[in-house]
Structure 1
Amino acid sequence: MTMSKSMPHTDPKKLVIKLGGSMLAGLHSSFFDSLKKYLSEGYQIVIVHGGGPMINEELEKNNIAYKTVNGIRYTSKEAVGIVQNALVEKVNPFLTNQLLSANIQTVGLNGMDGSIFESDFLDEHVYGYVGKIQKVHDEKIQSYLHSGQIPVIACFGATSDGIPLNINGDTVASDIALAIKAEALVLVTDTNGIKIQGEVKEEVNPEEINDWINSEDIFGGMIPKVKAAVECLESGIPEIHIVNQYFEGTKIAKEGVRL
């Protein structure tokens, strides 16, 4: 993944990086080196994280079944507190401590008090206690960026009256990227990008993605990931990257766009 190194000092470019939960326990030192490189080049970075493996482990300990619906984790009333504990109390501190140990200044955040983002039910009948973001408070995020910190945001929120909500991490990342006018949204996963018939595609466009969804070459958890990417493109984010922790993978951009 390459970016332009030249930028006005008064208008730093921004990256939103979404870390899949499966990546968190095995991040290589080169990942943190890459973050430092982008910071040294003047980029401001926001990290959004999930926590799938930790959530699954905690649900299994409590004998609570789990499933996905349309690529989104169904979250029952009995599961939502366990999801909250895994994301907010375990994964978020673990990741912020890793960054601090690598001498990267950071602050751990979530959407539960509404100060970072406000949320409401996505569709309680279909998904249970799963939320969607209603509003991102970009000025609050900007304040952390201006202070030289990387906000590390857990994909968990609450309704205005305090009902906890699990939120898909890819959509949280895309909503935040749009709100802060990020140069790029980077989805770091345990795959090397979009793989079609065994081949990783280095560059794709939205039309190809729609065709692959229809043909079921793209399926499962990759569907909300690429849909969020396309929505970001349509809304004005110049490019989306689906990469591994070495920042190798697929760039998604509108046809003809070369940044």
Structure 2
Amino acid sequence: MSVQRPIVVKAGGRLVANPETRIKILRNIVELSDNGKPVIFVHGGGDVVTEYSKRMGVEPRFVVSPSGIRSRYTGPEELEVYVMVMAGKLNKEIVAELNSDKVRAIGVTGADCGIMVAQRKKRIVIINERGRKQVIPGGYTGKIVSVNKECIEKLLSITNTVVVSPIALGTEGELLNVDGDQAASSIATAIQAEALVLLSDVEGVIIDGKVVPTIPLSLAEEYAAKTGYGMNRKILMAAEAVAKGVGKAVIAPGNVEDPVTKALSEETGTSIKP
């Protein structure tokens, strides 16, 4: 494995779908790679999946958990679209863009080499349209239960840049949609990354109209309870990684110049530290 501890960067689907923003993120990753810093880049792509689902006549569905976390409901038809778009279109487009800048990037899914193994959720509890709890079939989503650290290390021994699509191998051999923030957090934890950077389309954790520069690990759940659907998940996943040994986690804007470098230097975003 590379001497330097890797960093794990995750960019959400809205950032990836925006050509200008994606260029900013990928150029910064190229700069880090040129300077010898190993980067594992986990990409989202929900908006693009939604676009192609609608093109194919598969209406996307989203559900909200009792804790307030909103997520995509992945039925069998949407799983097919999800895999095609995430593993085929987006992952390889990102790899091509990186390699065009002479970075020897490798693109994989979490199913390759069993990088991420997840337990399929056979049933899930949601809050229905009436505001009541309801149990429904779990579809093809999963919770990550293990990460193949050795495979990641092997990949990093031949390249500084690995692009990961958040598709996991189910415990029964099926493909599963897994949350990108959870994927990035799990990978960062497994390899004991130097840092986890969760890039978003907002400036960081915003409370009372202001960006919170630092959140102590002990207060992460308290802050998560004060935020909306997407941000509460990011805070909890970032905090989990830090609690399990990752140096620090930063939730930062991805639509600025050098977004990863600025997040690492804490010029932007919200840092979660022990």
Q: Into which bin does the TM-score normalised by the smaller protein fall?
A: 0.7 to 0.9
8 A contact 1:88–1:110 mirrored in 2 = yes
Root-mean-square deviation (CA), in Å? Answer: 2.1
Corresponding residue to 2:42 among 27, 44, 48: 48
Corresponding residue to 1:31 among 14, 25, 41: 25
Corresponding residue to 2:217 among 206, 229, 244: 206
Find out whether 1:18 has 2:10 as its counterpart: yes
Distance change (3 Å), C-alpha of 1:10 and 1:30? closer
User: Alpha-carbon deviation of 1:253?
Assistant: 0.9
TM-score by length of 1: 0.86
- 1:103-118 matches, within 5 Å, as 103-118=102-117
Letter in 1 for 2:88: E
CA shift digits 1:174-226 (9 cap, x unpaired): 11001111010011111111111221122222344322333xx3110112111
Distance change (3 Å), C-alpha of 1:165 and 1:191? same
Q: 5+ residue gaps in structure 2?
A: 126-137, 260-267
Distance change (3 Å), C-alpha of 1:121 and 1:212? same
8 A contact 1:71–1:222 mirrored in 2 = no
How many residues are aligned here? 244
- 1:113-132 matches, within 5 Å, as 113-126=112-125, 127-132=138-143
8 A contact 2:106–2:159 mirrored in 1 = no
TM-score by length of 2: 0.81
2:165: which partner in 1? 154
- 1:100-249 matches, within 5 Å, as 100-126=99-125, 127-214=138-225, 217-245=226-254, 246=256, 247=259, 248-249=268-269
1:58: which partner in 2? 52
User: Alpha-carbon deviation of 1:118?
Assistant: 2.0
CA shift digits 1:82-113 (9 cap, x unpaired): 11111111111111112112222201101234
Q: 5+ residue gaps in structure 1?
A: 1-8, 255-259
Letter in 1 for 2:51: E
2-structure distance, mates of 1:107, 1:159: 22
1:68: which partner in 2? 63
Distance change (3 Å), C-alpha of 1:213 and 1:161? closer
Mean alpha-carbon deviation: is it higher for 129-138 or for 112-121?
Answer: 112-121
2-structure distance, mates of 1:157, 1:206: 28
Identity of aligned residues (%): 27
User: Alpha-carbon deviation of 1:67?
Assistant: 0.7
